[in-house]
Structure 1
Amino acid sequence: MPRRSAALDRATPEAIAVAALRILDEQGPGHLSFRALADRLEVSHATVQRRCTDLAGLLDLCTEHLAGQLPEVPAGTDWAQAAEQRFRALYLLLTAHPGLLALRGGRPWLGRQLLARLVEPSLADSVAAGMTPAEAMTVYRRMYLLTLGSAAFVDHRDPAAATAASRAALAALDPAEFPVLSGGLPDVLPALTDHEVYYGALRQLIESARPAAPARPAAPARAGRFTTRT
């Protein structure tokens, strides 16, 4: 039997994903590299590259690791409740790792874990509720884009810094040209980092897309005597 590599045993896909996410969370996306991962895992640069091939492969490992944490919603859960549960969980994962979100950018996320825990069950629930596959995909896409955009818009791990940067930018505006923005800072700024803005928008989107309850079949007419007037 071929000898197992101790380095490859340490640099498993799971270990690489965990280490990469820690670097992203602790130091930011500018510090993530194969060499930084190799140092953290105490393996060679070549060992990490053998597992991931390139940055895209590394990011795929990270997203698959996170997707494995998405909930498996029990069968029979109300359609709206299941949709909210799945997408709230996705939002929390994304906002917890803004560095990963920044590096992935617009790259598609098509790993097996995400497809199995989010995409497929979301579409299956919608079709079972009465949507066509095209309608189900449209509804899913809307909720996904809302979630992705809401998570990417601001670094929710440091809301104070995000608020301070926005405050400085808005305070520099000419009040004559931007009367609402410059004059309503106390009201405008809190919404930038308020998670409830996303949750409220998600609930509205879900409610607007909720499939109509199927009409109940008419009860069969009872047999009996009928009299008619002439």
Structure 2
Amino acid sequence: MPRRSAALDRATPAAIAAAALRILDEQGPAALSFRALAEQLDVSHATVQRRCTDLAGLLDLCTEHLAAQLPDIPAEVGWAEAAEQRFTALYRLLAAHPGLMILRGGRPWLGRQLLARLVEPALADSVAAGMTPAEAMTAYRRMYLLTLGSAAFVDHRDPAAATAASRAALAALDPAEFPVLSAGLADVLPALTDHEVYYGALRQLIEANRPAGA
């Protein structure tokens, strides 16, 4: 029998994803490399590359690792509640890893875990509630894009820094040209990092897309 590689045993897809997310969370996107991963896992650079080929493959490993944590929603949960639970869980996972969001950019996320734990059950619930497949996909896409955008454009792990950067940018504006932003700075800034802005918008979308039979 061929001998198993101890390095490959250490560098499992789950171990690589966990180490990559740790680097992203603690050191930022610029610190992520195959060599940095190899050092964390005590394996060679080549071993890591065998597992994920390139950066795109590594990012896919990370997103699939996160998608595996999405909840299973019991069948008896109503359509609206199930949608809120699914997308709230996705939002929290993505908001917790801003470095991953920066590197993924607009790359499509079509891994099996996401399709099995979010897309397929969300579409199935909508069709069962009376939507056509096209209507179900449109409703899903609206909630997915809201979630992705809300998680991607603010570093929710460091809201103080995000607020400070925005405050500095807005404070430099000419009040004559931007009277509302300049005068309402204290009211505008809190909404930038307030999770309730997302939760409220998600509930509005859910209500607007609620199937007649739900």
TM exceeds 0.5? yes
Any idea what SS the aligned residue of 1:109 has? coil
- Where does residue 202 of structure 2 map in the other structure? 202
The separation in 2 between residues aligned to 1:165 and 1:18, in whole angstroms, is: 30
The separation in 1 between residues aligned to 2:45 and 2:213, in whole angstroms, is: 57
- Where does residue 143 of structure 1 map in the other structure? 143
* Larger gyration radius, structure 1 or structure 2: 1
- Where does residue 16 of structure 1 map in the other structure? 16
Aligned-residue RMSD, C-alpha = 0.7
The separation in 2 between residues aligned to 1:84 and 1:9, in whole angstroms, is: 38
The separation in 2 between residues aligned to 1:197 and 1:80, in whole angstroms, is: 18
Q: Deviations over 1:11-55 (max 9, x none)?
A: 000000000000000000000000000000000000000000000
Q: TM-score, normalised by structure 1?
A: 0.92
The separation in 2 between residues aligned to 1:19 and 1:108, in whole angstroms, is: 22
The separation in 2 between residues aligned to 1:41 and 1:172, in whole angstroms, is: 46
Residues 1:117 and 2:117 aligned together? yes
Q: Deviations over 1:71-95 (max 9, x none)?
A: 0000121000000000000000000
- Where does residue 95 of structure 2 map in the other structure? 95
Q: Which residue type is aligned with residue 94 of structure 1? A: L
- Where does residue 72 of structure 2 map in the other structure? 72
The separation in 1 between residues aligned to 2:62 and 2:96, in whole angstroms, is: 13
State the identity %.
Answer: 87
- 5+ residue gaps, structure 1, are 215-230
- Where does residue 156 of structure 1 map in the other structure? 156
Q: Which residue type is aligned with residue 135 of structure 2? A: E
- Where does residue 185 of structure 2 map in the other structure? 185
The Cα shift of 1:153 comes to 1.2
Residues 1:134 and 2:126 aligned together? no
The Cα shift of 1:213 comes to 2.8
The separation in 2 between residues aligned to 1:20 and 1:211, in whole angstroms, is: 40
The separation in 1 between residues aligned to 2:81 and 2:175, in whole angstroms, is: 44
Q: Which residue type is aligned with residue 30 of structure 2? A: G
The separation in 2 between residues aligned to 1:16 and 1:84, in whole angstroms, is: 31
Aligned residues: 214
Any idea what SS the aligned residue of 1:174 has? coil
The separation in 1 between residues aligned to 2:76 and 2:145, in whole angstroms, is: 26
Q: TM-score, normalised by structure 2?
A: 0.99
Residues 1:40 and 2:43 aligned together? no
The Cα shift of 1:171 comes to 0.3
The separation in 1 between residues aligned to 2:204 and 2:42, in whole angstroms, is: 48
